[in-house]
Structure 1
Amino acid sequence: MSELPSDITQLLPVRSVGVPDALTDAELLTLYSTADPSLTLVRANFIASVDGSATAAGLSGRLGAPADKRVFDLLRQLADVVVVGAGTVRGEGYGAMLLGDAAAAWRVARHRPAHPVFAVVSASLSLDPASDVFTKAPVRPLVLTSSSADPARRQALEAVADVVSCGEQRVEPLRLVAELRRRGLTQIHCEGGPSLLGDLIAADVLDELCLTVSPTLEGGAGPRITRAPAGPPLDLRALTLDHLLLSGSMLLSKYSRAR
């Protein structure tokens, strides 16, 4: 879908007459910024096809386009920490969490570290300490795991990352958020995958969901953006639509949790 445009216009809320249609990066940053970044915010960013698939041929990136990638990068620019499940790190081929020079300079000018922290969630610690995620990271990554994880794997990863227990048998979302907040990482940004998002929703710690609807039909083979943990069905979590953007036929929305 690389032939699609990167220009983004705002559908809702309606903008003032006379304002140029195409949004600048500065305007997009304002739309996605929080009023007080010192307060904890848990945000997730996902993409889905029109028929509800989170992937195409197993990869979420196949659903994207330049406009979606543009917002993806800007959301990282705003984050203190980017949290990703280990399965997504492996499946999507993640490397080191490096921002571009302009984004890093923007952060430094606002008295923030040049790059966000990369936090990988893995209860089993099935991660390669020699991968670029760790060896080329500009900031020492975090690995969020359980106390019962394999001690040998933990020791190997501790050479390249801070390994933090966030639960006894599994990574517990409330513990995860508390550990990140304790480190001063209040702007928490999740990029996947479905199981991690399902855990955040079940624990009711998700404050915002940025959802891109790709103008494609996947056919029904792929997963949803969220996978519920074991247990009884949840009560519905009400959301408020904060804004709706358009690029070509792609919709980019931001919802916040109505508390």
Structure 2
Amino acid sequence: MSGPTSSSIRRLAPDPDGATLDDADLISGYAVAPGPHLRANFVTSVDGAVSVAGRSEGLSSRADKRIFAILRMLCDALLVGAGTLRQEQYRALRLDERRRQWRQRQGRPAQPTLVVVSGSLDLDPSQSAFADAPVRPIVLTTADAPVQRRKRLAEVADIVVAGDRTVDLPHGLDQVRALGHQQVLCEGGPLLFGTLTAADAIDELCLTVSPLLAGAGAGRITAGPASAVRTMRLRQVLGDDDGMLMLRYTRDAQPR
């Protein structure tokens, strides 16, 4: 599945051998056991910035994008907040033919499903993420969401009510999983990640550390009220020739 512009990625821990990893190696390294699993994926600068000039694109690299694509291929549903969907200008969640074939060989739908969290439904139905989606997205919202916005979005997405005035994320995730989407990948934003952390819903964090000093101004990968500290276990460290580190942390005591 790797293209000609793919960056070389090597395993630094555990068991480093200096070999360049192909896609089969990466799939194996990020595989999880069947059942409910919520994985978050972020990129940050070495000084903790979540973005450069307002977007995460400035922190990314070819290697990071390669991991990004693998994680999307492995998920059943991609979870994202409405603000991130707008700010990062999400397009339709559409895998290429090779990745669709891989999923189908595993007995899975060809495409994962986009899930957007929005209490206010301040979303544009004509945005590519909705209008061009190969699979109808799901929008998690509230009972109090504006009726007209709900009607407009219902033309391009399935509306799922999870909470009265604010989105109850654990309840929303239960509903998403009841629809068959067990493996959920969260791509942010920071407030969504902070809320999921506070709800003790995060099973795994995949964090790419970019060798950049972004300076003051940008926020962290997490935001919101303070919550309990939770211990994570470092499972894997990958690196590329440009100094990017791709870290995998899990909550579980045993490797999957």
Q: What TM-score range do you get, normalising by the shorter chain?
A: over 0.9
| Equivalent-residue separation in structure 1 for 2:145 and 2:228 (angstroms) | 32
Unaligned runs of 5+ in 2: none
Q: Does 2:38 align with 1:42?
A: yes
1:251 maps to which residue? Answer: 245
1:187 maps to which residue? Answer: 183
| Equivalent-residue separation in structure 1 for 2:85 and 2:173 (angstroms) | 19
1:83 maps to which residue? Answer: 79
State how 1:104-253 maps to structure 2 within 5 Å. Answer: 104-229=100-225, 233-248=226-241, 249-253=243-247
**Number of aligned residue pairs:** 248
The two structures have a TM-score, normalised by structure 1, of 0.93
1:23 maps to which residue? Answer: 21
| Equivalent-residue separation in structure 1 for 2:133 and 2:217 (angstroms) | 34
Letter in 2 for 1:132: S
Unaligned runs of 5+ in 1: none
Q: In the TM superposition, what is the alpha-carbon distance from 1:184 to its structure 2 partner?
A: 0.9
| Equivalent-residue separation in structure 1 for 2:151 and 2:126 (angstroms) | 13
Secondary structure of the corresponding residue to residue 202 of structure 2 = coil
Q: In the TM superposition, what is the alpha-carbon distance from 1:228 to its structure 2 partner?
A: 2.2
| Equivalent-residue separation in structure 1 for 2:227 and 2:149 (angstroms) | 34
Q: Is the 8 A contact 2:197 2:227 kept in 1?
A: no
Q: In the TM superposition, what is the alpha-carbon distance from 1:234 to its structure 2 partner?
A: 2.2
Letter in 1 for 2:191: S
1:12 maps to which residue? Answer: 13
Q: In the TM superposition, what is the alpha-carbon distance from 1:35 to its structure 2 partner?
A: 2.5
Q: In the TM superposition, what is the alpha-carbon distance from 1:235 to its structure 2 partner?
A: 2.3
Secondary structure of the corresponding residue to residue 154 of structure 1 = helix
Q: In the TM superposition, what is the alpha-carbon distance from 1:172 to its structure 2 partner?
A: 1.5
* Deviation by residue 1:151-208 (Cα, 9 ceiling, x = unmatched): 1100111111101111111112211210111101000000010000001000001000
Question: RMSD of aligned C-alpha atoms?
Answer: 1.4
| Equivalent-residue separation in structure 1 for 2:193 and 2:172 (angstroms) | 13
* Deviation by residue 1:225-246 (Cα, 9 ceiling, x = unmatched): 00024xxx32211000010111
The two structures have a TM-score, normalised by structure 2, of 0.94
| Equivalent-residue separation in structure 2 for 1:113 and 1:5 (angstroms) | 26
| Equivalent-residue separation in structure 1 for 2:216 and 2:251 (angstroms) | 28
Q: Is the 8 A contact 2:6 2:66 kept in 1?
A: no
Moved over 3 A (4+): none
Letter in 1 for 2:232: L
